[in-house]
């Protein structure tokens, strides 16, 4: 998105024959960040609305469409309207082999970002299969998705455990997935289950009514309902956190599956060793 913004500014300035001031370029890059956030928000909304799974063609098309509509188009219109306003004409300068300081800084920033991407993100932003989840819980069938979500299912209830990564933008709210499955979410908020704090909600659709509870837990079973807490602990302490989500037909069944799975702790293989 930043590269697209720079290309748009370059082309507009070149056509106008002007050199925009640095503060204005910086302001448009900041605006680009805001538009990226807006585009990503609508991408999530549309993928949920159209029930488009990750990795599908429709998922990719929605991503491209939201980028074009909510980032590229408004950026182009705003740059064309406001960028040249206080620019100065481009003057002919003799060729020089010296690299501009801002370009050196930009290249340095790109190297830094690529280094973080290479050496930090692979360990903290993507599923590797080494996060320490149990491959079997007695009485449950296991379904594992490509992004590492472990779903333990039986006729009475479902336990979903998802590895969470502090530098990843895929850590969306679990209710988005339930809505994508056609459920209407009712009464979501903080509560407790078997005396432990968690989020609670009711899930309704014409053929089914479920009760669900979820929280975050690290690989030692310590739990929290604070997203800021688990992200901070994961970043500073190197802990692996998981989203633990239970769902059952009623509150009694939810309490039963909570006891049956040790509040989801039996899915954490590290606790069984």
3-state secondary structure 225-247: CCHHHHHHHHHHHCCCEEEEEEE
What does DSSP assign to residue 169? S
How many separate domains does the chain show? Answer: 2
Question: What is the per-residue pLDDT for 131?
Answer: 56
* Same domain for 239 and 155: yes
145 shares a domain with 252? yes
231 in a structural domain: yes
Residue 91, CA distances (Å) to 12, 18, 21, 103, 132 in order: 17, 9, 14, 19, 61
Query: Which pLDDT belongs to residue 246?
Result: 93
Residue 75 and residue 177 in one domain: no
Tell which of 87, 109, 131 closes a domain.
Answer: 87
Residue of 171 and 195 predicted with greater confidence: 195
pLDDT for the residue 100:
53
CA distance 219 to 162: 12
- pLDDT of 89 > 70? The answer is no
Q: Are 9 and 79 in contact (CB under 8 A)?
A: yes
On whether residue 125 sits in a domain, the answer given is no
Examine residue 103 and state whether it is found in any structural domain, yes or no.
Answer: no
Same domain, yes or no, for 76 and 148? no
Residue 250 sits in which domain range? 141-271
Pair (61, 150) in one structural domain: no
* Shared-domain flag, residues 83 and 146: no
> What is the tens place of the pLDDT at every residue in 113-147?
656 555 554 444 455 555 568 888 888 899 888 77
Q: Which of 83, 77, 71 is nearest to 33 (CA)?
A: 71
Percent of the chain exceeding pLDDT 70 equals 77
């Amino acid at each position: 998105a930043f590269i697209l913004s720079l290309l748009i500014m370059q082309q507009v300035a070149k056509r106008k024959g002007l050199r925009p001031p640095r503060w204005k370029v910086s302001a448009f890059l900041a605006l680009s960040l805001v538009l990226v956030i807006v585009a990503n928000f609508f991408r999530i909304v549309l993928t949920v609305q159209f029930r488009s799974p990750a990795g599908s063609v429709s998922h990719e098309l929605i991503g491209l469409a939201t980028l074009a509509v909510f980032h590229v188009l408004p950026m182009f219109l705003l740059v064309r309207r406001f960028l040249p306003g206080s620019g100065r004409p481009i003057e002919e300068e003799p060729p020089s082999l010296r690299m501009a300081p801002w370009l050196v800084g930009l290249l340095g920033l790109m190297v830094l970002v690529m280094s973080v991407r290479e050496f930090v993100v692979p360990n903290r932003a993507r599923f590797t299969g080494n996060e320490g989840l149990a491959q079997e819980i007695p009485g449950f069938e296991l379904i594992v998705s490509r992004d590492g979500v472990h779903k333990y299912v039986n006729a009475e209830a479902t336990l979903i455990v998802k590895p969470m990564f502090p530098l990843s933008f895929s850590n969306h709210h679990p209710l988005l997935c339930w809505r994508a499955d056609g459920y209407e979410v009712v009464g979501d908020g903080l509560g407790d289950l078997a005396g432990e704090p968690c989020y609670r909600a009711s899930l309704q659709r014409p053929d089914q009514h479920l009760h669900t509870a979820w929280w975050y837990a690290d690989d030692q079973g310590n739990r929290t309902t604070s997203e800021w807490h688990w992200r901070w602990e994961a970043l500073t302490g190197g802990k692996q956190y998981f989203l633990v989500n239970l769902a059952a037909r009623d509150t009694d069944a939810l309490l039963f599956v909570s006891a049956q799975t040790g509040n989801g702790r039996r899915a954490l293989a590290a606790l069984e060793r």
